Structure 1
Amino acid sequence: MSYPCLSRFLQLLFVSSLSITSSVSYGYNETDLFSDIPEIVSATRISQNISEAPVSTTVITQELIQASSAVDLPELFKLVPGFQVYTPNANKYAVTYHGASGEFPRNLDIRINGRPVYIPLLSTVAWNTLGISIDDIQRIEVVRGSNVPSYGSNALMGAINIVTKTPIEQTSQQLTTTIGAQGRKDVTASYSGKANDLYYRVNLGHEGNKGFDFQKGGENVNLGNLHFVFTPSLYDSIDFTAGFNNGTMGIGGGNELREYQDRDHFSHFQYLQWNHVVNETHEINTQLFHNYLRLKTKSFNASELLNDPGLVNLNAQLAFLAATLGDNYPFSSSHVSDFPVLSSAENGSTQTYGAELQHTFTPTSSFTLASGLGFRYEKASSLALLGSDETIDEEIYFFFSNAEWKQTDHLSWNAGFMSELSSITSPATSIRLASNYKLGNSLILRGAITQAYRTPSLLEENNKSSYIFPEGVPFDYVSFPNDDLEAEKLNAAELGIFWTLPENKGFVDLKIFNERISNGIESWFYEGPIDLLSIKQGFRDEARELRNASNRKSHGFEIQASIKPSNKDLIHFAYSMTKISGIQRRGELARKSDRTYDDSAPRHTATLLLNHQFTNTLDSSVIFNYMSDVQWQDSSLIESYKTADFKITKSFPTSHRHKLTTSLLVKNLFDQKYSQFHTNNLYDRRLYLIMKLNF
C-alpha cells in the first residue's frame, strides 16, 4: 500500500504547523485546549474527543445547522470536506464521499440515533423517506473514512450518524414554516413534555414543493415521529422512537416531460434502546429496530408503451414468425395478451429487523474495550427489481470489537474489527489499526490503516429484471443475478494533523489519504437470450449482470477548520482535493466500452461559512460553495458550480418564554446558473422565508 506523496504545499503546511506549535507559549491546560472540541461515539463506539478518533471526523453542530443555508437535510453535508451532495431529481438527493457514484450512492452507512436506514431493496438511502425533518436534528457525526470495523460493510467509505433532539433537551414547543422558491411550503410542529421519569417529544410535519420548472418533480409528503426517554434509575436509560413518512414525489430523468412520473412511498420505523451502567467499569447497551418501506409507481399497458392498440401488429408479426420458422420458432406461444408494465424500477417493499448487544469495559482510565454482536434480517419483494412478487430475504450476523489504549500521556492506540456472516454471501472480516500522538499541547498527529470489505447487498445478489408476456413470451431480458459475486475490498491509509486553537475556541484538521478499491461491483453487459426486442432490432439484445468488474484508487487531502475569532463570529471551512483513477470493465459488447474513473470525482470541493452575531437577536451568515467538474454515473452532464448564499436571522421575544425567529435566506445570491446531474436540473437564485415560534 503506497501513501500519497506530500506536495510542496503540504510539506510547507506541515513544517509551519510544527514551527508555530513550538513557538507558542503554552498558557493553557488540557481542559482549556479541548473544552470546545466535540465528543463523538460514531468512529469506534467509544466516547472520544474528535482529536482522539482514529479516523477523520466532522461534527455538524446545532450552531452550524442554524448558521447554514440548508433547507433540506442532505444539504448539510456540503459542510463536510470530501463529501458531495447533488440532485438527480428535484427532490431526490444523493450524498457520497470521494465521488464515483451515481443516482444511488451505496458506500455510506447512514444511521439515525444508531438505527441503520440503509435500504436493501435499493442499495442506498432514500432521504425523503426517513421520517425526520431538519428541525429534529441536534447534531450529526460524520466519519470521513471507512468505518466498517465499527458499523459494518455499508460503511465502506464512511459513516453518518444523525442525532435527533431528545425531549430532555427540548423543553419548549416549536412551530416552523418555510415558504419560497419552487412553491415550497413546509411546516413542522413539535411538542415536548414530562410525566414523572418519562420524557416525551412528538413531531409532525408536511413538506411540499413543485420541483424544477421543467420537470414533474414536485413533492408532497407528511411525516411524524415520537421520542420517549424513560429514566427509572441513575443507571438506566430507555429510549424509544417511532415514526412514519408517506407521500408522493416526482422521479425521472432525461430531456422529455413524459419520462417523469410520480412515485408514492410509505415508510415507518420503530427503535428501542436500553443503556445500563453496571458499575464504573461495565456498561451494556441493547438495541432493537424495525424499518419498513413501500414504493409504488404507475403501471402502463404494454400496448400503450408499444403504441400498438390491442397488440395487433405484434401478434401479426408473431404469427408470421411461427409460420415461417415452424419447429424452430423460439417462443412458447404465437399470440400474446396485454399486461401491465412498470415503467420505473422504484417499486416494491422492503423490511429490516435488527438487534444488537454491546458491552463497554473500562478497567482503567487508559483502556476501553467496546465489544458486541448483532443480527439483522432483511427481506424484500419487487417484480421490477427482483423478477417476481415472492419475498427474498437475507440473515446477517456480526461480531465486533474496538479498543482504545492510552499507552502514555502522548501516545494512544485504536484497533477494531468487524466480522459479518451472511446467509447469501461469503463471510468477511474488516480490521483497522490507528495511532494518535500528541506533539506538544495543541498538536496531535494521527495515522490509520484499514482493510475493509463491502459484501453484496440483497438487491445486488438477486437483481433480476425482464418484460415477459403472460403466455411466457419474452419481450426484453434486462438483467440476471450472478451467483459468483464477491465482496468489494478497500485498502486505505490516512495521515492526519489535528491542531487545537484554544484562543479561538476552535481547531484545524488536515487529512492526507490513499484509498484503493478492488473487486468493485458494477454492471457487465453481454448478448442476452433471444427475445422479441432482439428480433425487432435484427441483432441479439444486450443483457447485464453485476460482476466484480472495476478497480479504482484515489488520493488527496482534506482540510476542515472551525474557529471563533470572537464571541460573535464563527468561521467554518471545508476543502478537499481528490485525484481518482481506475477502470470499469463493462463486458464483451463493442458498444459498451470500458470506462475510466478519471472524471467520476470532483478534483476540488470547498465550503466557507462566515457567521456574525450583531446583537443577541440579530445574526447573519454568508456561505460559499464550490465544486469542480465531475461526471456522475448515469449522467452525461459535466459541470462545475460556485454559489454564494446569504442568510439573515432576527429573533423577536414575544414574552418571557416565547420567541419568534425569522430568517430570510437567499441561495445562489448572484444568480450564477448551473445544472446538476441532468441539464434540466437548473439552479438559479432562490429566496426562502423561514419562521420559528418557540412557546
Structure 2
Amino acid sequence: MPDSFLKQGRFVFPGTPPYPRLLLLTALLGGPALAEDLFIDNQDLPQVLTATRLKQSPAAVPGSMTVLDNELIRASGARDIPELLRLVPGMMIGYGAGNQPTVNYHGSNVSDARRMQVLIDGRSVYRAGLATVDWSDIPVAIEDIERIEVFRGPNTVSYGANALMAVVNILTRNPADSHGTRVKLTRGQDGINDYYASQGFGWDSGDLRLSLSGQQDDGFDHDQFGRDYRDSRRANRININAVHTLAPDQTLEWQLAAKEGSNQRPYTYQPVFGNYRAGDNADVNAKDYAGSVRWNLDLNPEHSLYVQGSAQHFDRQQVWRACDAAIAFSPELTRLWQLDPNFAEKVARNLYTGNLPITTDPELGALMGQVQNQWASGGRNTICGDVDQSTRETRYDLEIQDTLSLTDSLRLVSGMNYRYDRADSQTYFNGSLDDQTWRLFGQLEWRADEHWIVQGGAMYEHSQLSGNSLTPRVAVNYLITPRHGLRAVYSEAIRSPDMFENNVNWSYTVKNLSPNLYGLQNGEYFVKTRGPGNLDQERMRSRELGYNGAFSDLDLNVDVKLFYDEITGMISEPLKNNQFIASNANKARFSGSEAQFDWRVTQRDRLRLTYAYVDAWASNPADRRLSARNSGSAGWLRDWGEGWSSALFYYGDDALNQYRYERIDLRLAKRFKIQGSNLELAALWQQRLDDEPVTLEQNRYDSRHRLSVSAELEF
C-alpha cells in the first residue's frame, strides 16, 4: 500500500477538541490506570447481524458497520431513508431529476446507483430489471423502523451479487413492541404533508401491527432557468407485520406491504427533428406489493435454522405525449440506424440544412437518398403520439439458512437461496425477460483463543443470464478486550450486469398518432437499441484495516478504518436510447479513511461524529462525479428534562458532482402526558449553508431554509 494512501487517509474534525482521540490513544498506548478503567467489560455486549448473518459484537465483525438506532432515527427528523443515510460515513446522497434520490457508498455513476444491496427484514428491494433501488418508493414507514444496519464494504459473500459496495439492512420494530395506537401528522414548507397511523395488539401466542402511512411534497422549486420544476411526489402505504409462537422452539413471522403513489417527472424528451413539444406530463404512477413468511426453529441452544419465502411485484406506469417529424417513423431511417447509428444520427440532424454526410457505402447511400426524398415529400410534418415507458417486475425468493455452533470456539452459518426475476416492458425488452439465480453460501468463525478470531466465507452463485461466480472473504480480528478489536479484511465481490445492461431490446411503439401516419394509428420510432448479451460481471477487490472499540465507562463507541478498493470490468455507460453501447471497459479505485464516534457524554447528552476521506479515480468521469473527497456529519442530542428534547445535526460534502452541500438541522420537541397517553409536538428547521443546486444544476429551491412541524399521539 503506497505511503501516499496512508497520508491521505488521515481524518480531522475541524474545530473539534482532540480529547476523545487523546483518551483513545492513552488507553491503547499508555496510561495503565486509565486503560484499566476504560476497558472494564461491565455491560452486555451489543450485537449486529448484517455483516456475516451471525450475531457478533462490533469488535468481532469482519468489516465496518454503522448502526442507526431508533433514538437517532427519531431525533434526525428524517422523512425518508436516503436522508437517514447521511449519518453513515462514506455514503454519498444525491438527487437525479427531481424526486429521484441516488445513494452510493463512496460513489459511482451520478444518475444510476446500482452497486448496493438494500434489504427490509432480509427481503431485497433491489430491482434486477433496471438495476436500481426506488428509494422514494420503498414500502416502509420511517416510524416502523427499529434500526438500520449498514455494512460499509463489499459483502457478496453474505448477500450475493449486487452487494458490491455496501449492504443496507432495514430492520422494522417487533410487533410485540408496538401495542396500542399511534398517530402522527407532519406539515411543512415545500408542500410537506405526511401522516402515519398504527395499531398493535397481542394475544397468547402472537402479536400483530397494522400501519398506514403516506408522504407528499413538492420537490424542488425551479430549474437553472428559473422555470417551475415538475417533480412532486405522493405515496400511500399499508404494512402488516405479525409474529406467532408455534411452540417453545418455533416462531412464524409474516409481513404484507403495499404502496401506491405518483412521482412527477420533468419533461425531458428532446426530439431529433426540430423543436416540437407536446406537454409536461411524463409522470410515473407506482404500485408495489410484497409479502414474506419466515419459519424459525431453534433445535437447541447451539443449532437453529430458518426458511423464508417472499414475493414482490413492482409496477411503474409512465405514458406521455410527444411530437416529432413524421420522418422519425421511416422504415428506411430505422434500417439506416441499425446499420450505422452514428451515420444515421448525422443524417437525421442535418436534414433541415441539407448538409448530409458523405459515405462510400452503397447501401448507406441508397437509404440516405430515400430518407431525403421522404423528408421533402411531407417527412418534416409534425406528428404526435403516446409514448409508453411502463415497466413491471416480479420476484420470488426462497432461502434456507442453518446456524450451528460446532464447538465452543467454532461457528458456521450456511444456506441456499433461489430467486426468480421477471421484467415486463414493451419498450425496454419488447415483451418480457426472466432470470433464475441459485446461491450457496457459508461463513465460518473460529475463535483461536480469547484474542484471535479468524473468519472466512464464500458465496457460489449461478445466474441463468450472467453465469457462475465464486466470491471469497477472509478476515483476522485481534480482540484487545471483548469490546476493542483490530481487524484486517480481504474480500472479493461481484455485480452481475442487470437485465437492461446486457439484454435490453429498446424501441418505442408510439400509439395514437395524430395525424395518422400512412393510415396507421401506431408507428415504430427509428432509434432502436440492443444490449450486447455477453457482458461479464464487475469485480471488486477490497482491502481494509480497522479498529472498533467501546469504552464502557465513557459510554463512547469508536470505529476507524483504512480502505483500498478496486473495481474492474465496470459497466459505466448511461442508460439511454441513443448509441447505448454497454461494455466492461471501465475501472475505478477508491481509497481513504473513515471514522465514526458515538459518545453519551452524560445521561442527557449524546454526541455523534462521522467523517470520510475518499480519494476516487475512475476511467469514466461519470463514475467519480458523485464522490466527495471530504464528507461527514455531526450531531448533538440533548434531553433537557420536563419533556423537552433537542437534536442539532450538521451534514456536509465538499463536492458532489462539483457542487458543495452543507446543511444544519435543528429539531425541538416537547412531550406531554395526557391521561395515560403521550403527545409529542416537534418542529424541524433545516438551513442550507451554501447556495448551490443539489447534485444537478436543475435541482434548486427558492429558499435555503425549510420548516416542518409534527404532532404524534400514542395511547
TM-score for the superposition, normalised by structure 1: 0.87
Alignment of 1:26-175 (within 5 A): 26-27=36-37, 31-32=41-42, 35=44, 38-175=46-183
Partner of 2:661: 641
**Residue among 258, 263, 267 paired with 2:284:** 263
- Indicate how the Cα distance of structure 1 residues 597 and 202 shifts in structure 2: closer, same or farther if over 3 A, else same: closer
- Indicate how the Cα distance of structure 1 residues 234 and 261 shifts in structure 2: closer, same or farther if over 3 A, else same: same
Q: Give how far 1:308 is off.
A: 9.2
Alignment of 1:368-447 (within 5 A): 368-386=411-429, 388=430, 390-439=431-480, 443-447=484-488
Q: Contact between 1:581 and 1:596, CA under 8 Å: does it hold in 2?
A: no
Partner of 1:353: 396
Q: Contact between 2:321 and 2:387, CA under 8 Å: does it hold in 1?
A: yes
Q: Contact between 1:217 and 1:260, CA under 8 Å: does it hold in 2?
A: no
Partner of 1:245: 259
1:522-580 alpha-carbon deviations (Å, 9 max, x no partner): 22999x9xxxxxxxxxxxxx622211021111100000010101000011111100001
Partner of 1:219: 233
- Measure, in 2, the Cα distance between the counterparts of 1:246 and 1:426: 35
- Indicate how the Cα distance of structure 1 residues 253 and 85 shifts in structure 2: closer, same or farther if over 3 A, else same: farther
2:558 is the alignment partner of 1:508: yes
- Indicate how the Cα distance of structure 1 residues 206 and 327 shifts in structure 2: closer, same or farther if over 3 A, else same: closer
Higher mean alpha-carbon deviation, 670-679 vs 86-95, is at 670-679
- Measure, in 2, the Cα distance between the counterparts of 1:693 and 1:377: 42
- Measure, in 1, the Cα distance between the counterparts of 2:575 and 2:11: 45
- Indicate how the Cα distance of structure 1 residues 598 and 423 shifts in structure 2: closer, same or farther if over 3 A, else same: closer
Q: Contact between 1:253 and 1:678, CA under 8 Å: does it hold in 2?
A: no
- The one-letter amino acid of 2:265's match is I
Give % identity. 24
Give SS of 1:676's match.
coil
Higher mean alpha-carbon deviation, 260-269 vs 248-257, is at 248-257
- Indicate how the Cα distance of structure 1 residues 2 and 245 shifts in structure 2: closer, same or farther if over 3 A, else same: farther
Q: Give how far 1:68 is off.
A: 1.1
- Indicate how the Cα distance of structure 1 residues 438 and 10 shifts in structure 2: closer, same or farther if over 3 A, else same: farther
- Indicate how the Cα distance of structure 1 residues 473 and 179 shifts in structure 2: closer, same or farther if over 3 A, else same: closer
2:594 is the alignment partner of 1:568: no
- Measure, in 2, the Cα distance between the counterparts of 1:247 and 1:74: 18
2:651 is the alignment partner of 1:625: yes
- The one-letter amino acid of 2:320's match is S
Partner of 2:345: none
Give SS of 1:459's match.
helix
2:535 is the alignment partner of 1:485: yes
Q: Give how far 1:500 is off.
A: 1.8
Partner of 1:608: 634
Q: Contact between 1:552 and 1:581, CA under 8 Å: does it hold in 2?
A: yes
Aligned Cα RMSD in Å?
Answer: 3.3
- The one-letter amino acid of 2:654's match is S
- The one-letter amino acid of 1:652's match is F
- The one-letter amino acid of 1:660's match is L
2:564 is the alignment partner of 1:546: no
- Indicate how the Cα distance of structure 1 residues 354 and 482 shifts in structure 2: closer, same or farther if over 3 A, else same: same
Partner of 1:291: 312
Q: Give how far 1:122 is off.
A: 2.0
1:322-356 alpha-carbon deviations (Å, 9 max, x no partner): 9x95998589x99999784427x5x2100010000
Partner of 2:387: 342
Give SS of 2:582's match.
strand
Q: Contact between 2:571 and 2:585, CA under 8 Å: does it hold in 1?
A: yes
Partner of 1:184: 192
1:640-666 alpha-carbon deviations (Å, 9 max, x no partner): 12111111111011122x110111100
Higher mean alpha-carbon deviation, 605-614 vs 671-680, is at 671-680
Partner of 1:461: 502
- Measure, in 2, the Cα distance between the counterparts of 1:310 and 1:401: 54
Give SS of 2:100's match.
coil
- Indicate how the Cα distance of structure 1 residues 266 and 408 shifts in structure 2: closer, same or farther if over 3 A, else same: same
- The one-letter amino acid of 1:300's match is R
Q: Give how far 1:582 is off.
A: 2.4
- Indicate how the Cα distance of structure 1 residues 430 and 547 shifts in structure 2: closer, same or farther if over 3 A, else same: same
Q: Give how far 1:4 is off.
A: 7.0
Q: Contact between 2:387 and 2:510, CA under 8 Å: does it hold in 1?
A: no
Q: Which runs of 5+ in 2 are unaligned?
A: 13-17, 223-228, 271-276, 335-350, 357-362, 512-519
- Measure, in 2, the Cα distance between the counterparts of 1:604 and 1:408: 39
Q: Give how far 1:384 is off.
A: 2.4
- Indicate how the Cα distance of structure 1 residues 408 and 260 shifts in structure 2: closer, same or farther if over 3 A, else same: farther
TM-score for the superposition, normalised by structure 2: 0.84
Q: Contact between 2:147 and 2:171, CA under 8 Å: does it hold in 1?
A: yes
2:218 is the alignment partner of 1:210: yes
- The one-letter amino acid of 2:635's match is L
- Indicate how the Cα distance of structure 1 residues 51 and 468 shifts in structure 2: closer, same or farther if over 3 A, else same: same
Give SS of 1:513's match.
strand
- Measure, in 2, the Cα distance between the counterparts of 1:614 and 1:31: 30
1:480-535 alpha-carbon deviations (Å, 9 max, x no partner): 11122000010000000112221221211101000000000122999x9xxxxxxx
2:405 is the alignment partner of 1:362: yes
Higher relative contact order (CA 8 A, sep 6+): 2
- The one-letter amino acid of 1:515's match is D
Q: Contact between 1:85 and 1:94, CA under 8 Å: does it hold in 2?
A: yes
Q: Contact between 1:4 and 1:556, CA under 8 Å: does it hold in 2?
A: no
- Indicate how the Cα distance of structure 1 residues 92 and 482 shifts in structure 2: closer, same or farther if over 3 A, else same: same
Give SS of 2:162's match.
helix
2:671 is the alignment partner of 1:651: yes
Give SS of 1:135's match.
helix
1:211-245 alpha-carbon deviations (Å, 9 max, x no partner): 22221111122111101100122211111001100
